[in-house]
Structure 1
Amino acid sequence: MGCDRNCGLIAGAVIGAVLAVFGGILMPVGDLLIQKTIKKQVVLEEGTIAFKNWVKTGTEVYRQFWIFDVQNPQEVMMNSSNIQVKQRGPYTYRVRFLAKENVTQDAEDNTVSFLQPNGAIFEPSLSVGTEADNFTVLNLAVAAASHIYQNQFVQMILNSLINKSKSSMFQVRTLRELLWGYRDPFLSLVPYPVTTTVGLFYPYNNTADGVYKVFNGKDNISKVAIIDTYKGKRNLSYWESHCDMINGTDAASFPPFVEKSQVLQFFSSDICRSIYAVFESDVNLKGIPVYRFVLPSKAFASPVENPDNYCFCTEKIISKNCTSYGVLDISKCKEGRPVYISLPHFLYASPDVSEPIDGLNPNEEEHRTYLDIEPTGTIGDEKANMFRSQVTGKINLLGLIEMILLSVGVVMFVAFMISYCACRSKTIK
C-alpha cells in the first residue's frame, strides 16, 4: 500500500511537472506560431486576409470637415479688420469605399502596383447640416490672382475682370461647391484660363491617386505596404534634399509587429510630403488593444528649432526667413496656385500666423493628428467584432491555456511532492 501510494504521488508530481513544462514551452512556441501565421496572412498577394482587406477595405472610412464661416467680410474689406471666424461642422463623407484598380503583382521585385480611386459620399446622419449649407469664405480665384500674376499691367486687367464679374474678396458658397467645385464667374472671363472650376478638392470624384508601387512583403515582411515608387518616382520633385523623399506607407496600413519605439513613416499625397508619427499611449479601441501614434509638434517646427525641416521652408513671405512655423507652402505641388496647409486652428503654428484671425482655439485633444495601430483609422463595430474573434480572441485564448497549464502543473507538482515527502516522513518514523 505504501509503495502504491508513493508511486501515485510521484506520478502526480511528474504529471504536474510535465504540464508546467508544457505550459512554459507553449509560450515561446505559441508566439512563434502566431508570428508565423501573421507573417503568412499579411503578405499582399491573392489568398491572404491582408490582401482582401487591402484591395477593398471592409471598414467604413470617413473624412470629416469643419468649415470656418467668416462673420465680418465687409469690415475686413473696408477697414482691414481682423477676420472673425466661426467653426461649423462636422460635415462627414464616406471615403475609401472603392476597390483599388489596376492591381498588378511584380514577382521580380516582390511589389504590387495599383491606383487608388477617389470617391466621397455625403453622410447626413454624421453631419450637422446638408451639402446645401451656405458659408461666407475667401474667394479662392480672386485671392490667388494677385499671387500668380505679379505684373502690374496684368493685375490691372484682372481687377477690371473681377469688377465686371461682380466678384469680391469674399463670397458665399454651399458646402458642395466649396469642397468639390463650382464654375467661377471671374475665371470665366479670363482669356485662356487653366480651368474655370474652383474647389478645395476639385477634381476628386471619378479620379484616382497613383500609380503606387508598394512592397508585398513576400521576401521581407518588415517591408509590406511600404512605398517603392509613386507615379513612377522615388522622389516628389517638390522639395530639396531629404524632404523630397517618399517614405513609409500610405498610412492605410503598416508592417506587422509595430514596436512602441518605432517612428512610423508615411506619405500623404494630400499634403505633398512624407511625415512621421511617434508613440504616445496604449489605447483600447472597441475591445482591441492598439498603439496610438501622434504627429509631434517637432514635425511642424521651424528650422531654427528643428534643422531637419530646412528644406520645407520656401521664399514665400509666410516663412519670414524660416522663423515662422506651422504652415506648409505646397504651391509647387498645386501647379503654382498659392496653397498653404496647417493643422486645424493653426495648432503648433507660431503666434504671428493666427494674429489676423479671431475665433481660433487650437488644442491638442481636438486638433492633432493621430494613428491607432492595430488597424489604422476608425474601426466599425462589425469589423471590431471580427478582429476580436479571429485575432485578438485567439491570442487571448492561447495565453489563457498557457497560464492554466503552467499554473495547474506547478500546483500539482508542489502538492504531490509535499504529500510524498510527508508520507515518506511518516514511513521512516
Structure 2
Amino acid sequence: MPQTNTKLHRICNWKLCIGGAGFLLALFGLLCGMFWADLFTYGMGKEIALRPNSRVYESWKVPPLDLNLDIYFFNWTNPEDFKNQSIKPILQQLGPYRFSEKPDKVDIKWHPENYTVSYRKKSIFYFDAEGSNGSLDDQITILNAVALSASAKAKQWDALKRNMVDISLKMYDQPMAVTKSADELLFTGYQDDMIDIARAAPIFGDEVQVPFDRFGWFYTRNGSADLTGTFNVNTGVDDIHKIGQMHSWNFKTHTGFSESYCGMVNGSAGEFFPPNLKVGGSISLFSPDMCRSIPLDYTETVVVEGITGFKYSGGARSVDNGTLYPENKCFCGGECVASGVMNVSACRFGSPVFMSYPHFYNADPLYVNQAEGLKPNQKDHEFYMILEPNTGVALEVAARFQVNMLVEPINHMSFYEGVPRTFFPLIWFEQKVRISPEFAEELSAVPRILTIGHIVAGVTFAFGLILLCWHPAGYLISKWRGDLKPTSKKPKASSKVAPIPELSASYKKACEAEGQPEGSPLLTKPYLSNVKIVPNKQPALEKPSEYKS
C-alpha cells in the first residue's frame, strides 16, 4: 500500500507540473501577442529618441536624402486687360526651376527638464540647371506684389494715409504687373521704390514693418537661419509618441496669428511622426511659412519600395475656412472666403497672401474659374505624405503649396479702382522626396520582426494550451469511450436445474403396459440434452399406487 500511494503521488505531481507549465506558457503567449507591438515600440523608442549621441541624431541634424525644391511661376500674359472684367487673366505656367537643398540645424539646445530640444533651420540652395525647365535669366511677368501689399496695408488706415500711398504709387509709376528675371523673383530679389519709402518714411510709424530691403519670394532664405524662427520640439525620451512634435515656436505655444485653438503650436516639425498609426486617422504638420498647422487625413494604403505605408493627403478640410468644417472658422483671420485657400496675411506682415494647393486643387471651383490656364489634377498638385505605420518614418513626401494674393477695389485708392476681386495665383513650389532603396531594405525588417513576434506568441499560446488541457482532455475521452460500451449482457444459463430422477424398472414396465414407449417424446435426446442430469441426488420415483402389489 505505501508503494501504491507513492506512485499515485508522483503521477499527480507530474500532471500538476505539466498543467502549470501549460498555463504559464499560454499566459505568456497571450500577453506577448497582445502587447508585442507596445514592447517593440518601447524598445524602438530607446533607440530613436533624440539625444546628442543617439542613432538618429546625425540624420536628424543633416538629412542624408537628396532634397530638391521645384518652383513654378504663373507668367501673366495679358496684364493690360485686368480692369476689363469681361476678360480673364491668362496665365502660363513656367518651370520647374529646380534647386538642390542642403539643410542643417543650428543653435541646438537641449532641455532635459521637459524633454525638448530647440534649434533653427538653415538651408543652402544650389540651382540645378539640368533638372530645370528654364533658366534663371527667363523674364517673367507677375502681379506687382509690392504695390499690392502697400495698398492692402493702407486699407486699414484713415483716408489721409491712404491718399499718401495712392500718390506714392502714381509718383513712382507703379505698374499692375512687373517683369523680372526668375533669379530676381526668387533668391536674389529686386529693388523697389515702395520698399525704400516704407522703410524710410517715419510718418507711418510702427504700423509699417518692412524687414527686407529687396523683394523676392525666397529672398534672405538662402544660407540664413532667421526666416523660419526657432523650433522647440519633443525629443521622445519620455514618450516616443511625442517625438518630433512641436512644443513651441519662437518660444510661444500660441502663434497669435489665429484665434483660439487655431493658433496653437502643434503637429510635427516635419522630421518625425508618431509610431503605431491606425487606418483612418490623421496627422498634422506645422508650417512656419504659414504660421499654422496643416491637417492631413488618411486616404489609402500603398506600397513604396516594397514597404506598406499609410497615405495622408491634404483634402478639403486642410484649406477650409469654416464653410465645410465649422471648426475651421477661426482660421479665417477676418477674411472668411470660400473653401480652398488659407488666409496667412497676419503671418506675412499684413500682405493679402492666401495659400492654396497648386492650381487651386481641392478648392471651390470659383477660384479656378477666375483665370485661364489653371488645370488642377491629383497627380501633379496633391499634397501628401506616406508613412510607415509602425515607426512613423516617411516613405514618400510631396509638399506642394501655391501663393496667391487677393486683388480687390480699395476705397480712396485709384490705383485699384475697377479691378475685379481676384485671388491671383503667382507661384507654386514642390518638394518631393522618396526613401532610398538601401534605407527601405533596413526599414523592411520592422514589419518582419512584428510578424515573427506574433507568430511566436501564437505558437507559444497554442502549445501551452495543449499542455494545460492534455490530462483533462484525456480523462474526458476515456470516460466518453467507456460510456459507449454496452451495459446489458446476455443472461447465462443457470447451472442450478432440477435434476431428472432415474426411472425404476417397474415404472418402465408400467409405461410399456399402458402403451407408452420407452422413447416417449418427453424423454428424447433433444429434450434431455438441455438438462443437466445429476445422478444419485434424488430418491427414485415409486410406482403409482395402482401398480403396488
The 8 Å contact of residues 187 and 196 in structure 1, kept in 2 or not, is answered as: no
- In the superposition, the TM-score normalised over structure 2's length comes to 0.63
What is the alpha-carbon distance in structure 2 between the residues aligned to residue 392 and residue 46 of structure 1? 26
| Alignment partner of 1:110 is 2:130 | no
**Which residue identity is paired with 1:371?**
M
The 8 Å contact of residues 145 and 158 in structure 1, kept in 2 or not, is answered as: no
In the alignment, what sits opposite 2:94?
88
Secondary structure of the residue aligned to 1:217 is coil
Larger RCO (CA under 8 A, 6+ residues apart): 1
Shift of 1:341: 1.4
Specify which of 97, 100, 105 is matched with residue 105 of structure 2: 100
In the alignment, what sits opposite 1:425?
none
In the alignment, what sits opposite 2:186?
179
Using a 3 Å threshold, how does the CA distance of structure 1 residues 398 and 275 change in structure 2: closer, same or farther?
Answer: closer
Structure 1 residues 211-253: Cα deviation after superposition (integer angstroms, max 9, x where no partner): 1111111111111111111110000011111111111211322
**Which residue identity is paired with 2:366?**
D
What is the alpha-carbon distance in structure 2 between the residues aligned to residue 405 and residue 239 of structure 1? 50
What is the alpha-carbon distance in structure 2 between the residues aligned to residue 78 and residue 42 of structure 1? 59
In the alignment, what sits opposite 2:167?
157
In the alignment, what sits opposite 1:204?
221
The 8 Å contact of residues 298 and 310 in structure 2, kept in 1 or not, is answered as: yes
In the alignment, what sits opposite 1:219?
238
| Alignment partner of 1:233 is 2:252 | yes
In the alignment, what sits opposite 1:419?
none
Secondary structure of the residue aligned to 1:83 is coil
What is the alpha-carbon distance in structure 2 between the residues aligned to residue 30 and residue 308 of structure 1? 37
| Alignment partner of 1:329 is 2:343 | yes
What is the alpha-carbon distance in structure 2 between the residues aligned to residue 287 and residue 50 of structure 1? 23
What is the alpha-carbon distance in structure 1 between the residues aligned to residue 116 and residue 74 of structure 2? 42
Shift of 1:137: 0.9
- Superposition map of 1:20-419 within 5 A: 31=37, 34-76=40-82, 81-95=87-101, 97-150=102-155, 151-163=161-173, 167-187=174-194, 190=197, 192=200, 194=210, 195-208=212-225, 209-315=228-334, 319=335, 322-374=336-388, 375-376=393-394, 377=397, 378-379=432-433, 382=436, 384-389=437-442, 391-393=443-445, 395-396=447-448, 399=451
Shift of 1:58: 1.2
**Which residue identity is paired with 1:85?**
L
Q: Identity of aligned pairs, percent? A: 24
Secondary structure of the residue aligned to 1:137 is strand
Shift of 1:138: 1.0
Using a 3 Å threshold, how does the CA distance of structure 1 residues 29 and 169 change in structure 2: closer, same or farther?
Answer: closer
What is the alpha-carbon distance in structure 2 between the residues aligned to residue 105 and residue 156 of structure 1? 50
The 8 Å contact of residues 77 and 169 in structure 1, kept in 2 or not, is answered as: no
Structure 1 residues 330-349: Cα deviation after superposition (integer angstroms, max 9, x where no partner): 12111222222111111233
The 8 Å contact of residues 42 and 256 in structure 1, kept in 2 or not, is answered as: no
The 8 Å contact of residues 98 and 118 in structure 1, kept in 2 or not, is answered as: yes
**Which residue identity is paired with 1:278?**
D
Question: What is the aligned residue count?
Answer: 385
The 8 Å contact of residues 280 and 299 in structure 2, kept in 1 or not, is answered as: no
**Which residue identity is paired with 1:385?**
E
The 8 Å contact of residues 234 and 245 in structure 1, kept in 2 or not, is answered as: yes
- In the superposition, the TM-score normalised over structure 1's length comes to 0.79
Shift of 1:94: 2.4
The 8 Å contact of residues 347 and 364 in structure 1, kept in 2 or not, is answered as: yes
The 8 Å contact of residues 69 and 137 in structure 1, kept in 2 or not, is answered as: yes
The 8 Å contact of residues 140 and 180 in structure 2, kept in 1 or not, is answered as: yes
What is the alpha-carbon distance in structure 2 between the residues aligned to residue 79 and residue 307 of structure 1? 33
Secondary structure of the residue aligned to 1:298 is helix
Shift of 1:350: 2.5
Using a 3 Å threshold, how does the CA distance of structure 1 residues 402 and 213 change in structure 2: closer, same or farther?
Answer: closer
Gaps of 5+ in 2: 1-21, 156-160, 202-209, 398-431, 463-549
What is the alpha-carbon distance in structure 2 between the residues aligned to residue 354 and residue 402 of structure 1? 51
Using a 3 Å threshold, how does the CA distance of structure 1 residues 343 and 257 change in structure 2: closer, same or farther?
Answer: same
Shift of 1:68: 0.9
Secondary structure of the residue aligned to 1:198 is coil
Shift of 1:210: 2.8
What is the alpha-carbon distance in structure 2 between the residues aligned to residue 405 and residue 31 of structure 1? 12
The 8 Å contact of residues 344 and 367 in structure 1, kept in 2 or not, is answered as: yes
What is the alpha-carbon distance in structure 2 between the residues aligned to residue 185 and residue 248 of structure 1? 37
What is the alpha-carbon distance in structure 2 between the residues aligned to residue 233 and residue 78 of structure 1? 46
What is the alpha-carbon distance in structure 1 between the residues aligned to residue 451 and residue 341 of structure 2? 47
What is the alpha-carbon distance in structure 1 between the residues aligned to residue 338 and residue 457 of structure 2? 61
Using a 3 Å threshold, how does the CA distance of structure 1 residues 398 and 158 change in structure 2: closer, same or farther?
Answer: closer
What is the alpha-carbon distance in structure 1 between the residues aligned to residue 383 and residue 446 of structure 2? 31
Using a 3 Å threshold, how does the CA distance of structure 1 residues 394 and 212 change in structure 2: closer, same or farther?
Answer: closer
Secondary structure of the residue aligned to 1:74 is helix
